[in-house]
Amino acid sequence: MASTDAISGLRFDLNQGSVRDLNQRLHQPGGGGPVLIANPGGRHAIAVGLDAPWKVEIDGHVGYYCAGMNQQASVRVRGNCGVGVAENMMSGVVNVDGSASQAAGATARGGMLVINGDASARCGISLKGADIVVRGSVGHMSAFMAQRGALVVCGDAGEALGDSLYEARLYVRGSVGSLGADCVEKDVRAEHLEQLRGLLAAAGVDDADPLEFRRFGSARQLYNFHVDNLGAY
């Protein structure tokens, strides 16, 4: 099911071969270079656990956990994603042309996730250092318990944004349904504008002015359990 072209690199047709065969090939030592995956058909766990400078293009929709735990690789999905795209990513770039389901970029520790459509609930949940840029809107409970990294939302954010937030930075251009516990709006200073400019540029977003964004972060009132905060628990 795999074929190699000297110019365009590896090509996998998932109507002809299995996800197992694909991932096994991409896990071989010394990997890297262009890979085209045809007919993904919403299959789960496509291109997971990569640890080489592959440049993967997936021509269609994918199921759960596409590019999960990615290291080094660049993965582009020319379609929509199921739950948990780029979950626990360590490095590299994952770019989704369409929209993403729940828990996009969950617990991701490094690298960048770009979603050109919308992201559903819990985008960036427990984020641990990666950067996520969403050109559309995100659903409720996004950045729940997010620890490090940044979530940039060019559209709107749903309810309970940043609930129980730690040190992650959240930027939203549109409306916010509501803020979660311990999440507050903060001033946008020069350092934040500079970070935003960098993130938008890295994500290829050239139609959003950093000055249009608001910043949200942790009030740090719930960092240590205290009975006086009982109403917040």
Q: Is residue 72 close enough to count as binding other proteins by CB under 8 A?
A: no
17 or 49, CB closer to other proteins?
Answer: 49
In the chain, the amino acid numbered 176 is V
Residue 71: strand, helix, or coil? strand
Among 40, 68, 79, 210, binds other proteins (CB under 8 A): 68
90 binds other proteins (CB under 8 A): yes
- Helix, strand or coil, per DSSP, at residue 99: coil
Q: Is residue 94 within the footprint of other proteins (CB under 8 A)? A: no
- Position 78 contacts other proteins (CB under 8 A): no
Should residue 112 be labelled a site residue for other proteins when binding is judged by CB under 8 A?
no
Nearest to 56 by CA among 80, 29, 26: 26
- What's the CA gap between 143 and 121, in Å, rounded? 9
Residue 23 in the binding site for other proteins (CB under 8 A) = yes
The structure tokens listed for 170 are 């959240």
Q: How many CB atoms lie within 10 A of CB 159?
A: 15
Question: Which residues in 156-175 contact other proteins (CB under 8 A)?
Answer: 164, 166-167
Is 12 a residue that touches other proteins (CB under 8 A)?
no
Site membership for other proteins, residue 126 (CB under 8 A): yes
User: Cβ(2)–Cβ(10) under 8 Å?
Assistant: yes
Contacts made by residues 153-159, CB under 8 angstroms, sequence distance 24+: 154/205, 154/208, 155/118, 158/121
Binding site for other proteins (CB under 8 A): 19-20, 23-24, 27, 44-45, 48-49, 51, 63-65, 68-69, 71, 83-84, 87-88, 90, 102-103, 106-107, 109, 122, 125-126, 128-129, 144-145, 147-148, 164, 166-167, 223-225, 227
